[in-house]
């Protein structure tokens, strides 16, 4: 087999994952690669988890602070959470074991906008990064690195860490080389320059990650696939959400508010986002572009069919079946996909300039258009804000979508007041459920509440929501509270409180 480690000095640092893991110490801040289950180290984290378990068994303390690009996989977050090996995790996770530990109060979690992470580290806001553990597809003779299936924060981890551990994964095709675009022009304020990108496919950097070879303390070889990110076939609710969006896009084109080929699409994680992209593949739009952070099956299908011309992302997060299609046709996809650092894929300046259509999932929205993307019943974290805030705040049109109910209809995803706010009413323009689409642009709060109830709420909850706003407005008219954003403060969160005791939001 062709060697993927061409730099002689780095080849001399080859060792086992267990030996490499022992170079990480209790209390270290460790920056690992990985973004939505793509391009994460596969062996060192598991070896580290074993090492931590041994230390715990010997009565010793051993916990690290773990920083990543975004969510990873059971071999990383799962393994470290299982042994209680993290005292702090940032910026986005979706692992069930990790989530359970956070919600049980056994580890800390700092949920940061994905575009902020790299610069927070450059600014020194998060303290020193001790070790970077980065998966790559190969190492060139001069020590430059061929990135793997995600870029995430790797550039920053390699720059900022004192020590670097590389995992060279032979499972990734070497033909990935050339797909990435690593921009090294970002300066700190007050020396910042405009990011020189004016269209979604523009290349402004280099295909390789730079790394000072003298910092590399270990190189580990692996040959393992990324997590299989499975998507369920679109159900009735997601098909209806997608269909409302298709009608909306057509209306906007007709009104001259969107060009015929739309504007670059950002699409969030999960099944609904994926279903919307699948619908676009059956729809009338051509010449589409993607400017997103996670490229899922649905977007790859759009590229394959030719409906989408190109897509920019920071990660390729595919089901194993679609990953095979991607790997088998890399020459085709390399011409059409650009993988960037997440501080660029999610950069507010670029998002605003390109004018994205941002489409993200949510847990719940309230009558006035505030959105909760992260918390169940106000207290338990689901995943994290991820990039949704980067995109929602700066997009041309910001869309949030969800089925109108959750947990078999016992929860309304439209509530009087959200139990946690991630996206305020100021960043939310369109709300879509399978019931319909509410276009909130330019509407005042009392106009919004009526429209959201009429268009988006489930019939089981409509009467109670209408009753709530009518009584809140009546209270305002009788001098109890204002009439700009009417609320019944004693009742605003009573639906959530009821669910916590009866597992049903519906009034008895």
Catalytic residues: 293
Q: Which two tokens stand for residue 93?
A: 């996770």
Judged by CB under 6 A, the number of residues near ligand 0RQ is 29
Measuring CA to CA, how many Å separate 263 from each of 76, 214, 380, 388, 428?
36, 44, 35, 17, 18
Site for ligand 0RQ in 160-219 (CB under 6 A): none
Q: Are 429 and 396 in contact (CB under 8 A)?
A: no
Nearest C-alpha neighbor of 183 from the set 400, 347, 8, 397: 347
- 365-404: which residues touch ligand 0RQ (CB under 6 A)? 373, 376, 382-383, 385-388, 403
Is 159 near ligand 0RQ (CB under 6 A)?
no
Instruction: Name which of 138 and 361 has its Cβ closer to ligand 0RQ.
Output: 361
From the CB of 94, what's the least distance to ligand 0RQ, in Å? 7
* Cα 426 to Cα 428: distance, rounded to the nearest angstrom: 6
Using the rule CB under 6 A, is 465 a contact of ligand 0RQ? no
* Interaction mask 15-54, ligand 0RQ, x per CB under 6 A: ---------------------x------------------
Cα(374)–Cα(97) distance, rounded to whole angstroms? 17
Residue 301 corresponds to which tokens in the numbers above?
Answer: 């299908």
- Mask of contacts with ligand 0RQ, 256-295, x by CB under 6 A? ------------xxxxx--------------------xx-
CB of 114 to ligand 0RQ, least distance (A): 6
Site for ligand 0RQ in 85-104 (CB under 6 A): 92
Question: Between residues 207 and 386, which has the closer beta carbon with respect to ligand 0RQ?
Answer: 386
Smallest distance, Å, CB 444 to ligand 0RQ?
A: 25
| Start-to-end CA span in the chain (Å) | 68
Strand-pair category, 380-381 with 375-376: antiparallel
Cis peptide before 15 (omega within 30 of 0): no
Smallest distance, Å, CB 36 to ligand 0RQ? 5
Nearer to ligand 0RQ, 211 or 397 (CB): 397
Residue nearest to ligand 0RQ (CB): 386
Contact 466, 453 (CB under 8 A): yes
Least separation in angstroms between CB 199 and ligand 0RQ = 21
DSSP code of 176? G
DSSP β-bridge partners for residue 206:
182
Q: Residue 75 contacts by C-beta under 8 Å, 6 or more apart in sequence?
A: 40, 42, 43, 45, 46, 227
Positions that interact with ligand 0RQ (CB under 6 A): 36, 70, 92, 114, 268-272, 293-294, 360-364, 373, 376, 382-383, 385-388, 403, 406-407, 411, 413
């Amino acid at each position: 087999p062709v060697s993927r480690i061409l730099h002689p000095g780095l080849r001399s640092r080859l060792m086992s994952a267990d030996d490499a893991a022992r170079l990480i110490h209790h209390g270290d801040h460790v920056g690992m690669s990985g973004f939505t289950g793509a391009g994460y180290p596969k062996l060192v984290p598991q070896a580290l988890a074993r090492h931590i378990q041994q230390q715990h068994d010997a009565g010793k303390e051993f916990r690290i602070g773990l920083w990543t690009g975004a969510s990873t996989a059971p071999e990383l977050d799962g393994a470290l959470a299982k042994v209680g090996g993290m005292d702090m995790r940032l910026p986005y996770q979706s692992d069930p074991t990790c989530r359970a530990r956070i919600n049980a109060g056994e580890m800390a979690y700092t949920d940061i906008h994905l575009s902020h992470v790299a610069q927070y580290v450059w600014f020194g806001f998060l303290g020193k990064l001790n070790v970077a553990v980065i998966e790559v597809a190969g190492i060139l003779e001069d020590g430059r690195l061929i990135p793997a299936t995600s870029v995430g924060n790797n550039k920053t981890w390699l720059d900022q860490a004192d020590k670097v551990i590389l995992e060279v994964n032979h499972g990734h095709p070497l033909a990935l080389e050339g797909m990435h675009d690593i921009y090294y022009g970002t300066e700190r304020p007050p020396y910042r320059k405009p990011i020189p990108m004016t269209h979604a496919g523009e290349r402004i950097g280099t295909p390789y990650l730079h790394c000072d070879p003298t910092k590399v303390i270990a190189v580990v070889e692996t040959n393992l696939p990324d997590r299989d990110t499975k998507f369920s076939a679109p159900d009735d609710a997601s098909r209806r959400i997608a269909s409302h969006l298709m009608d909306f896009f057509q209306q906007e084109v007709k009104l001259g508010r969107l060009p015929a080929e739309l504007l670059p699409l950002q699409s969030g994680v999960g099944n609904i986002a994926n279903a919307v992209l699948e619908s676009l593949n059956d729809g009338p739009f051509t010449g589409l572009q993607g400017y997103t952070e996670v490229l899922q099956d649905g977007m790859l299908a759009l590229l394959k069919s030719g409906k989408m011309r190109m897509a920019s992302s920071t990660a390729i997060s595919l089901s194993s079946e679609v990953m095979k299609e991607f790997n088998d046709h890399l020459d085709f996809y390399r011409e059409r996909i650009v993988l960037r650092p997440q501080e660029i894929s999610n950069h507010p300046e670029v998002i605003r300039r390109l004018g994205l259509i941002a489409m993200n999932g949510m847990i719940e929205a309230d009558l006035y258009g505030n959105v909760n993307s992260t918390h169940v019943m106000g207290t338990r974290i689901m995943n994290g804000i991820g990039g949704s805030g980067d995109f929602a705040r700066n997009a041309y049109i910001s869309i949030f979508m969800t089925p109108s109910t959750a947990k078999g209809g016992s929860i309304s995803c439209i509530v009087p007041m959200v139990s946690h706010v991630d996206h305020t009413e100021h960043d939310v323009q369109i709300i879509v459920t399978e019931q319909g689409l509410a276009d909130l642009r330019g509407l005042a709060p009392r106009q919004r509440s009526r429209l959201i109830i009429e268009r988006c709420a489930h019939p089981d909850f409509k009467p109670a929501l209408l009753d709530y706003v009518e009584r809140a407005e009546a209270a305002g008219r009788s001098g109890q509270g204002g009439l700009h954003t009417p609320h019944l403060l004693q009742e605003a969160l009573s639906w959530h409180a009821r669910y916590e005791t009866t597992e049903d939001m519906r009034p008895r």
